Amino acid sequence: MYRVMKRRQLAAAPSIILLEVEAPAVAKKVEPGQFVIVRMDEKSERIPLTVTDFNREKGTITIVIQDVGYSSAMINEMQEGSYFQDFVGPLGVPSEIENYGTVVCIGGGLGVAPVYPIARALKEAGNKVISVIGAKNADILILEEEMSAISDEVVVTTDDGSKGVKGFVTNGLDSILQKGIKVDAVWAIGPVVMMKSVANFTRPLGLKTIVSMNPIMVDGTGMCGACRISVGGETKFACVDGPEFDGHLVDFDLAMKRLAFYRDEEERAKIGKNCDCGKGGAQ
């Protein structure tokens, strides 16, 4: 059993919750970019979530989850002192952390949570870290203070202009490049359409771009094949080959078609009403 040590509501949105969970075996081995699969009790769905933070000394893992279905809503109601039945990990391949020079770490929506430990590790490796964090509006912008603490500069974007630059994270990236700053690598994590937009923006610039894919995932060990994606014309499994891939090689259109099938309300009704298994929960 894995105890919830800390619970915090993020931003003004009650549907986004941060949980710090006691999982010493996972905390001992986890690295930035990896994920866990959690199950609240024996009747719950297995939900993949990218690790937001970890503390090896305390033996804790921090995750962020949004209420998007029955099981995630149940997890969001968990209080300090409650327990997860299962907390499996670390899974996936860690981020390739090295000193690139100047890097831009982009988080859109809940993607700010998984990009945080990557940005911190890149900073510790000697990089200049410029972060771009975006949301639809200021009420659901998360972890701004935490990102500011580990970044040399933070650019905030909101779709409606309620905070920071009005527009998308690509507008934030463009504002950085317009200053004449030489960027050596970009990490972009968020909704698939956002990562596609970033990759399309950076491709003609020849700017190295890493994305974190969050497709349908069942077992997390490569056995089921549900998380397959196409990268450079080859089939890859996000759970064991990723979740990070070269954004310029990912077939985003195929990935979005697969996600749309499971997220369509009529199709979801066929596989189980309010199911969370198609939410791409690795963020």
Task: For residues 274 and 86, give the distance between their C-alpha atoms in angstroms, rounded to a whole number.
Answer: 21
Q: Kindly report the CA angle at 214 between 254 and 278, in degrees rounded to 5?
A: 80
Q: Is 277 annotated as contributing to ligand binding?
A: no
Joined tokens for residue 3: 């105890």
Q: Is 227 annotated as contributing to ligand binding?
A: yes
- The number of angstroms, rounded, from the C-alpha of 264 to the middle of its chain's C-alpha atoms is 22
Q: Is 275 annotated as contributing to ligand binding?
A: no
Residue type (1 letter), 272? G
Task: For residues 271 and 283, give the distance between their C-alpha atoms in angstroms, rounded to a whole number.
Answer: 22
Q: Is 104 annotated as contributing to ligand binding?
A: no
Task: For residues 208 and 185, give the distance between their C-alpha atoms in angstroms, rounded to a whole number.
Answer: 5
Q: Is 61 annotated as contributing to ligand binding?
A: no
Q: Is 64 annotated as contributing to ligand binding?
A: yes
Specify the DSSP class assigned to residue 38. E
Joined tokens for residue 25: 């075996």
Q: Kindly report the CA angle at 91 between 88 and 97, in degrees rounded to 5?
A: 140
Q: Which residues are annotated as a binding site for [2Fe-2S] cluster?
A: 224, 227, 239
Q: Which residues are annotated as a binding site for FAD?
A: 64-66
Q: Which residues are annotated as a binding site?
A: 64-66, 224, 227, 239
